[in-house]
Structure formats: structure tokens, C-alpha cells
């Protein structure tokens, strides 16, 4: 019998390209302290910690949660370390939720981080293991051909990606934690920025950030004791498929479609665009907004770009996407998924500040990773449902 | 509530330095998963949740688990997760998933090609990255410091340590997966040279490659899949400080705490301990209060085969096997992670659901 679980508190760091003022432990502690304070708790109230981050090669530390146990107040407690590629932040939230839903713990801290300035992510992503297809192009080079396939399939006009970038960067300027603060960015500036991986321009690409995010998840009793509003976890879902296989659809992956179908089923959602008030979606390259709108069922295949073009994904639109500024404004890779989950919770708690979507009651948090193959998602709401 | 889930299947690959297996784990996992399925009469479509344990640093690449997804045949897509830990913690995540009711049958696997590089130097990167790891104190040397402390405190002698090795190797003679096994006397072992004083080769787990698979099921399915399921009556883990200088290296509070949480009320007959060094077998028995009436590591334990990121899961699988075969009524499986027994997990298994 699944127990109710809710987000009691959220914390994140000020994301920057280089947080030279803190160690990895200091970075993580900054987010953890803010999350437990937001929940009206201290680290001593936490029963277990779930740590998530992307490849250890990104910092050059093997299983850093071992060294972080002290900084996270986890000594004498259970610590789980999750790693599911770029989706890991979402998986971290879902695993923490499952510990509460299973009745194993009452209050769990989910924490995800990446301190990219400690190593070189491009190098880490470009190692060619034996018997594997070498990419040697980092993430942008890997995803650009799939974006081109999307444009060809959907007939989307070429400025859609730039529209997403303008919206997300302007949203990011409403979020004091966001890495990039570009409130005055324009379509012309984005379109004049250098082409990195055709059709992805510099301004349509996520930054490389140092940052951490933490979320406290508790059971019904902990939610009742919380000092402020909580975000009830209505559904969680994860799906995986191989990087490559005969018939793989890289533009509209089956794993994403099946993941969200299970999510909507659990949450009782039959008409996503009308029942979801706001979505925090993992968009590391601008064009992934329309692509994921379709994969998630907010639009029919080939139609997602129309929502973007009509401004329906802006705050005040039919389905606001990434009011926080999203991955395009802050990208501490391992934390990026948990940031999506945390921002969706902030929205239904009514605590998103200047980037609050008015009246948001039901929200989607989404993350993906690997070669569009690992998906994790949740739906949070202002009431238990 | 915790007895609603049981281990119904276990398989492990033979532990060896495998020239025919890559760091992706696929070559070791495919036959091992097939063996586990065969014993339970299952196929991949029966599995509601998959969870794996492995390490990028061991594999020398980012995303060590990505190719392993090929081994499970994740088409159509599967409900799947991964921990950057020993597969024992993957089993823990799978157990939690079954408790939530989201899956009835779950499969956990761990894999590691420990021989891909110089293991003891790779493991040094688990230490504090700013103050300790740059000095490259390798994992054998860190364990040697712990062994030395115990010798000087009079907690054990080098002969005690050699006797642990001799006991383990004799037990491993009946385990076809073991990397080293067979009768040997403590006196003979003590005549051999040190590798990192006071540790000799027999005090250290051999470097070997391998994979392990454990299948669990809810009460509704367990009895259909296994004549005598090994019911999980307790499952818990804890971590100690990552600062070696801030820890008493001669106590293992995380192992004692995990056992207390998993349920130490009823005694076990068999304990499969994940002790990669002989003195750690002694430390763990003391920390968990295991007396002479408990058979310790009848598989030979990690000292006779320690495939990184699979060996802890294999301990739980071996403990479950003791219950499933009827050799034991109650058994515990233990897993460790981190330098000098920093993190510990205990899974208590019983032939009877409570």
C-alpha cells in the first residue's frame, strides 16, 4: 500500500560557471541547509539521504557521496547514490519519494549536484570505450542531428529554437538563483550568436554550471507538521531504453512516451494541456522544448512548435514551460533534473517568487538523459488528490 | 510489512580476471541473467523493475551502465534505475520499489571489471578530493593502516588474520564461482611476504571480474517462483564519516546500526560477510555480535572472490541461497562500500514469512 508523500521544502544554490568560493561539500551544504530550513527542519530531522549526480568523471571523484556524508549530516544514516545519466536529478527525487511511499522513512533529503568547474565535462563525455560507437562530440554534437530530423519531420520554421531561448533566458532573469541573467536578450541577438552544432546556436545552448539542488520529501504526518504549503507527489515514473536499436525514434523516443503515459495514468490526467498548469521540462538545447511537448502529449506529433510560436509556453500561456529559466539558464548537469522537479514543487506551493505562474495547482517535473533514453518524471499538486 | 518481499532467485558469474569481458559488463551479465531467469522460469517481460549497481571509475568511462542496458534487452522500454554503488544497494532500491506496490517482481544486478586498471589506485579516488586523494593513499594501504591499529591494540594477530583466510579458502572449495579456494594452513600463509605490511596477499581479496543477479518478488508471486523463498525480514544500511582521521577505525558503527535496524532480535545461522580484508572479517563479526554458533561466509566470502560492485550483492544472494536450499532457517547478507568499511548494509533473510 503506497503512502502519501509530499515535498516539504526546497533549496538550491546560486548557480554559476565557477563556484570557487565553496568546495563540493560547501556547495551541497548550501542547498541542503536551504531545503531543510524551507521545511522548518534541521538536518538532524532527516532519516535518510539520496544523492544524485551525473558521471563521477565530471569532478574527478569516485563516489563523492562517501566524502560528502559528513557535510550532508548523513553520518549514522542511510545514504543512497543514484546515477542515471542526465535524468539523474529526477531519479533522485523519485527514489527519495519511493522511500517515503514504501513507508521505510518519514523524512528524506534528496540532493543532486554538479561542480563542473572541477573537471571537464566535454572530456568526460568524449571517452571512447572499447566496442562502443565513439561520439567525441559532447552532448551538442550528439543531439543536433536529432533536432534536424525533428525540423524536417515537423516542417517547423527555423526561428522556433531562438524563440525558446529568448523566453527561457528572460524567465531566468526572474529567478535569482539562475546562472545566466539575460533579461534583455532579443531574438536578433540569439539569431546572431555563433552556430555551434547546426541548427543549435551559442545562445540556444545550456551553460556549464556549478550548482546543487535539495528537496525534503516527507510522509503525511511530516506534511501535516510542515510550517508552510507542501507539494503533494501525485505520480512518479521512470523508463529506460538502449541508446541505439533498430527502429529507435530519437526524435520522439518510446521510453519518453511510455514514461509519461504511466505518469498521467497514475495522476489521473487525461487531458495534459488543460490539466497541467505549468511544466518544468529538461530542455538543454532550445529545440527540445517543442520536441518534448510532443513526446509528453501536450501537442500532437509535429505540432509542438506551434505552441512555442504562439507564446503558449510563456508565463501566462496555455502551458507555461520552464518559468524558472530551465536548463538553458542553469545547468549543473546532475542537479538539472532535480531543479526541474523542485521548481515544479515551488510552483504548486506558490513560492516561485517573480517566476510564479499565477494559480498553479498541478505541475510536471521532467528529466531525460543518455541518448534520449532515460526518463524520469513526477506530477506534484497543491492538494493530495 | 517487511516480510512481504522475498528473494526468489540468484546467479553469479565465475569470478576471474576475464580477458573475454569488457567493462560494459554485457558479456558477464547476459549468461548470468539467463541463469537466474532459468531457475525461476521467468523472462524479461516478467520483470516490473530493474536496478543495477556499477562504477564509472572502474569502467574508465562516463555512464558505465548505459551499455549494460543492452544486456537486459530494454526494448520495449523498462522501468529501470541505477546506483553508483555495489549491486546490494541496487537490491535495496528494488526492494523499496516492490514495497510501494509499483512492481511485483524486480531484478537487481551488479557488475564490475576490477582488473581493467590498477584497482587499489583507482579506489584512492574515493577519498576526500581536496586533502587526501591527491596523496594517493591506495585502498590496500588504507586497509593496512586499519589492520595495524588492530594489531597494536591487541584486537587480533597476524595469525588470526591468516586463519580467516584459511577458513575462507576451505569454505570456497564448494563454491564454483570462487576465484581462489582450497585447503591451506595458516602457518604456510604466514611464511609468505607482505604486500602492504601487515597485510599479505591472503589478507586481501583477489582482484577479479564478475557479475551477480538477485530476483525478488512480492508475497503474491514469490511462492509461485520458488519452492522456499528467502523472505526479507529486515533490510537497512548506514554510513560512517568519510574522514578517516575522524573515525575510530576499530569500530564499525554503520554495520552495527544497519544490523540493529534490520532486526537482530532472532539469531541467524549463516552470515555472508563482505569483508575484502581478513581483519575486516574479524571487525565485522565483533561489530555485529556474531558468535561461534554462526557460520560465517560459507561461500568463501569476498576473500575468495570480490568482483567490485557485484560482491556485496553476491553475499546477499549467497545468504538467500542458504535459506532457499534449506541449509539455513535464517541468514544475513552483508555488503560494504568505501574505504575501511565506511558504509555497510545488512539484509536479513528467513525461510518463514512473519
pLDDT digits (tens, 9 = 90+) for A230-287: 999 999 999 999 999 999 999 999 999 999 999 999 999 999 999 999 999 999 999 9
The candidate with the shortest Cα–Cα distance to B87, out of B108, B70, B113, B107, is B108
Q: How far apart are CA A355 and CA A40, in angstroms?
A: 23
pLDDT of residue A122: 77
DSSP B268-294: PSEEE---SBHHHHHHHHHHTT--TTS
- How many domains, chain B? 1
Cis peptide before B76 (omega within 30 of 0): yes
Q: Are B312 and B88 in contact (CB under 8 A)?
A: yes
The candidate with the shortest Cα–Cα distance to B286, out of B252, B237, B320, B325, is B252
**Statement: residue B27 has pLDDT above 80:** yes
**Statement: residue B1 has pLDDT above 50:** no
Please report which confidence band the pLDDT of residue A174 belongs to, taking 50, 70 and 90 as the band edges.
very high
Q: How far apart are CA A68 and CA A65, in angstroms?
A: 5
The candidate with the shortest Cα–Cα distance to B325, out of B298, B302, B301, is B298
Query: Using CB atoms within 10 A of its CB, is residue A225 exposed (0-12), middle (13-18) or buried (19+)?
Result: middle
Q: Are A276 and A363 in contact (CB under 8 A)?
A: yes
Please report which confidence band the pLDDT of residue B2 belongs to, taking 50, 70 and 90 as the band edges.
very low
Task: Write out the residue range of the structural domain in which residue B9 sits.
Answer: 5-118+207-230
Residue where the block lists cell 563556484: A19
DSSP A351: -
Domain A5-121+207-225, what fold? Peroxisomal Thiolase; Chain A, domain 1 (3.40.47)
What distance in Å separates residue B286's CA from the closest CA in chain A? 18
- Look up the ipTM and state it: 0.97
Q: How far apart are CA A117 and CA B109, in angstroms?
A: 33
- The reply to whether B61 falls in a domain is yes
Strands B199-200 and A362-369: unpaired
Global pTM value? 0.98
Q: pLDDT tens for residues B138-154?
A: 999 999 999 999 999 99
- The reply to whether B11 falls in a domain is yes
Residues of A in contact with B254 (CB under 8 A): 76
- The reply to whether B322 falls in a domain is no
Q: pLDDT tens for residues B167-192?
A: 999 999 999 999 999 999 999 999 99
Q: pLDDT tens for residues A177-197?
A: 999 999 999 999 999 999 999
| B85/A75 Cβ within 8 A | no
Please report which confidence band the pLDDT of residue A132 belongs to, taking 50, 70 and 90 as the band edges.
low
Nearest to B83 among A77, A83, A130 (CB): A83
Q: Which of A110-124, A177-191, A291-305, A317-331 has the lowest mean pLDDT?
A: A110-124
Q: How far apart are CA A199 and CA A151, in angstroms?
A: 10
Mean pLDDT on A80-93: 96
Nearest to B257 among A76, A240, A373 (CB): A76
The alpha carbon of residue B98 and the mean position of all alpha carbons in its chain are separated, in whole angstroms, by 21
- The reply to whether B201 falls in a domain is no
pLDDT of residue A138: 76
Q: How far apart are CA B219 and CA B278, in angstroms?
A: 38
Which chain B residue's Cα is nearest to A247? B75
What distance in Å separates residue B335's CA from the closest CA in chain A? 13
Nearest to A62 among B55, B61, B99 (CB): B55
Cell (9 digits) for B218: 512480492
Cis peptide before B10 (omega within 30 of 0): no
Mean pLDDT on B107-125: 96
Strands B209-218 and B5-12: antiparallel
Segments in B134-252 forming alpha helices (H): 139-152, 158-172, 186-190, 219-225
Q: How far apart are CA A87 and CA B286, in angstroms?
A: 41
| B85/A63 Cβ within 8 A | yes
Residues of A in contact with B238 (CB under 8 A): 76-78
Strands B105-113 and B209-218: antiparallel
**Statement: residue B311 has pLDDT above 70:** yes
Number of A:B CB contacts under 8 A? 183
DSSP A67-105: HHTTTTT-TTS-EEEE-BTBTHHHHHHHHHHHHHHTTS-
CA distance readout (Å), B131 to B136, B308, B333: 10, 25, 34
| B57/A57 Cβ within 8 A | yes
The alpha carbon of residue A213 and the mean position of all alpha carbons in its chain are separated, in whole angstroms, by 10
**Statement: residue B119 has pLDDT above 70:** yes
- The reply to whether B155 falls in a domain is no
| A24/B56 Cβ within 8 A | no
Q: Are B348 and B268 in contact (CB under 8 A)?
A: yes
**B-contacting residues in A 227-266 (Cβ below 8 Å):** 238-243, 245, 254-255, 258-259
pLDDT of residue A2: 93
What distance in Å separates residue B259's CA from the closest CA in chain A? 12
User: What share of chain A in percent tops pLDDT 70?
Assistant: 98
| A238/B126 Cβ within 8 A | no
Q: Are B178 and B300 in contact (CB under 8 A)?
A: yes
Q: At what angle do helices B87-100 and A88-101 cross, to 10 degrees?
A: 60
Interface test with B, best of A27, A47, A75 (most B CBs within 10 A): A75
Bridge partners for A48 per DSSP = A108
Nearest to B63 among A85, A118, A242 (CB): A85
Phi, psi angles (nearest 5°) of residue B291 = -90, -175
DSSP B15: P
**Statement: residue A78 has pLDDT above 80:** yes
Q: How far apart are CA B350 and CA B232, in angstroms?
A: 7
Phi, psi angles (nearest 5°) of residue A236 = -135, 150
Q: How many CB atoms lie within 10 A of CB A197?
A: 20
Q: Where are the domains of chain A?
A: 5-121+207-225
**CA angle (B94, A259, B2) in 5-degree steps:** 20
What distance in Å separates residue A302's CA from the closest CA in chain B? 23
The candidate with the shortest Cα–Cα distance to A324, out of A224, A241, A213, A194, is A213
Q: pLDDT tens for residues A320-363?
A: 999 999 999 999 999 999 999 999 999 999 999 999 999 999 99
The candidate with the shortest Cα–Cα distance to B164, out of B241, B275, B56, is B275
**Statement: residue A135 has pLDDT above 70:** no
Q: Are B108 and B11 in contact (CB under 8 A)?
A: no
Q: pLDDT tens for residues B249-290?
A: 999 999 999 999 998 677 999 999 999 999 999 999 999 999
pLDDT of residue A136: 61
Cis peptide before A199 (omega within 30 of 0): yes
Task: Write the CATH number for B46.
Answer: 3.40.47.10
DSSP B3: G
B31: left (phi over 0), alpha (psi -120 to 50) or beta: alpha
DSSP B220-251: HHHHHH-SS-EEEEEEEEEE--S-GGGS-TT-
**Statement: residue A133 has pLDDT above 70:** no
Amino acid at each position: 500500500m503506497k503512502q502519501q508523500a509530499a515535498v516539504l521544502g526546497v533549496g538550491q544554490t546560486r548557480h554559476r560557471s565557477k563556484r570557487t568560493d565553496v568546495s563540493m561539500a560547501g556547495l551541497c551544504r548550501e542547498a541542503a541547509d536551504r531545503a531543510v530550513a524551507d521545511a522548518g527542519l534541521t538536518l538532524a530531522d532527516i532519516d535518510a539521504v539520496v544523492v544524485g549526480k551525473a558521471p563521477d568523471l565530471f569532478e574527478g571523484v569516485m563516489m563523492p557521496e562517501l566524502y560528502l556524508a559528513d557535510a550532508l549530516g548523513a553520518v549514522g544514516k542511510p545514504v543512497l547514490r543514484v546515477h542515471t545519466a542526465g535524468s539523474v536529478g529526477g531519479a533522485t527525487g523519485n527514489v527519495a519519494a519511493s522511500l517515503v511511499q514504501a513507508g521505510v522513512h518519514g523524512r528524506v533529503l534528496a540532493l543532486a549536484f554538479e561542480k563542473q568547474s572541477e573537471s571537464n565535462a566535454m572530456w568526460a563525455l568524449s571517452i571512447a570505450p572499447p566496442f562502443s560507437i565513439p561520439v567525441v562530440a559532447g552532448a551538442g554534437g550528439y543531439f543536433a542531428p536529432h533536432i534536424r530530423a525533428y525540423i524536417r519531420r515537423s516542417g517547423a520554421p527555423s526561428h522556433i529554437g531562438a524563440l525558446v531561448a529568448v523566453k527561457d533566458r528572460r524567465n531566468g532573469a526572474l529567478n535569482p538563483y539562475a546562472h545566466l541573467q539575460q533579461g534583455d536578450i532579443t531574438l536578433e541577438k540569439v539569431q546572431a550568436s555563433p552556430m555551434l552544432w547546426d541548427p543549435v546556436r551559442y545562445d540556444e545552448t545550456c551553460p556549464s554550471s556549478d550548482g546543487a539542488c535539495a528537496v525534503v520529501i516527507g510522509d503525511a504526518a511530516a506534511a501535516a507538521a510542515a510550517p508552510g504549503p507542501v507539494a503533494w507527489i501525485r505520480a512518479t515514473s521512470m523508463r529506460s531504453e538502449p541508446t541505439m536499436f533498430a527502429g529507435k525514434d530519437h526524435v520522439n523516443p518510446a521510453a519518453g512516451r511510455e514514461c509519461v503515459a504511466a505518469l498521467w495514468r497514475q495522476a489521473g490526467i487525461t487531458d495534459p494541456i488543460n490539466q497541467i498548469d505549468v511544466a518544468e521540462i529538461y530542455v538543454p538545447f532550445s529545440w527540445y522544448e517543442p520536441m518534448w511537448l510532443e513526446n509528453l502529449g501536450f501537442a500532437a506529433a509535429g505540432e509542438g512548435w506551434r505552441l512555442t510560436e504562439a507564446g503558449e509556453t510563456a508565463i501566462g500561456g496555455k502551458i507555461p514551460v520552464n518559468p524558472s529559466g530551465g536548463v538553458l539558464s542553469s545547468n549543473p548537469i546532475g542537479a538539472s533534473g532535480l531543479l526541474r522537479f523542485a521548481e515544479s514543487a515551488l510552483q504548486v506551493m506558490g513560492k516561485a517568487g517573480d517566476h510564479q505562474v499565477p494559480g498553479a495547482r498541478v505541475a510536471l517535473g521532467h528529466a531525460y538523459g543518455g541518448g534520449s533514453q532515460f526518463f524520469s518524471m513526477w506530477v506534484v499538486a497543491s492538494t493530495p488528490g | 510489512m517487511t516480510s512481504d518481499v522475498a528473494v526468489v532467485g540468484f546467479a553469479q558469474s565465475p569470478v576471474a580476471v576475464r580477458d573475454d569481458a569488457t567493462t560494459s559488463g554485457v558479456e558477464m551479465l547476459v549468461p548470468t541473467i539467463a541463469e537466474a531467469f532459468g531457475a525461476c522460469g521467468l523472462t524479461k517481460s516478467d520483470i516490473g523493475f530493474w536496478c543495477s549497481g556499477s562504477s564509472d571509475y572502474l569502467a574508465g568511462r562516463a555512464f558505465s551502465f548505459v551499455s549494460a542496458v543492452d544486456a537486459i534487452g530494454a526494448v520495449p522500454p523498462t522501468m529501470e534505475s541505477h546506483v553508483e554503488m555495489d549491486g546490494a544497494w541496487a537490491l535495496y532500491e528494488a526492494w523499496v520499489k516492490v514495497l510501494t506496490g509499483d512492481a511485483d517482481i524486480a531484478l537487481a544486478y551488479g557488475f564490475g571489471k576490477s582488473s581493467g586498471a590498477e584497482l587499489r589506485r583507482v579506489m584512492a579516488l574515493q577519498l576526500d578530493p581536496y586533502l587526501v586523494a591527491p596523496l594517493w593513499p591506495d585502498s590496500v594501504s588504507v586497509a593496512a593502516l586499519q589492520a595495524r591499529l588492530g594489531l597494536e591494540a591487541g584486537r587480533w594477530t597476524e595469525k588470526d588474520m591468516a586463519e580467516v583466510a584459511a577458513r575462507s579458502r576451505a569454505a570456497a572449495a564448494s563454491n564454483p564461482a570462487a576465484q581462489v579456494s582450497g585447503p591451506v594452513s595458516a602457518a604456510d600463509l604466514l611464511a609468505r611476504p607482505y604486500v602492504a605490511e601487515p597485510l599479505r596477499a591472503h589478507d586481501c581479496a583477489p582482484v577479479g571480474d564478475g557479475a551477480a543477479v538477485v530476483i525478488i518478488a512480492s508475497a503474491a508471486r514469490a511462492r509461485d517462483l520458488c519452492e522456499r523463498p528467502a523472505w526479507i525480514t529486515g533490510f537497512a544500511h548506514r554510513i560512517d564519516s568519510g574522514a578517516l582521521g575522524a573515525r575510530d577505525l576499530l569500530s564499525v558503527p554503520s554495520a552495527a546500526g544497519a544490523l540493529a535496524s534490520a532486526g537482530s532480535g532472532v539469531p541467524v545461522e549463516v552470515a555472508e560477510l563482505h569483508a575484502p580484508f581478513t581483519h575486516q572479517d574479524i571487525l565485522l563479526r565483533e561489530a555485529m555480535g556474531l558468535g561461534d554458533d554462526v557460520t560465517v561466509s560459507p561461500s568463501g566470502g569476498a576473500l575468495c572472490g570480490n568482483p567490485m560492485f557485484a560482491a556485496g550483492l553476491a553475499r546477499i544472494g549467497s545468504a538467500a541461497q542458504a535459506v532457499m536450499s534449506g541449509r539455513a532457517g535464517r541468514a544475513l547478507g552483508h555488503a560494504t562500500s568505501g574505504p575501511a568499511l565506511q558504509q555497510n548494509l545488512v539484509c536479513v533473510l528467513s525461510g518463514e514469512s512473519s
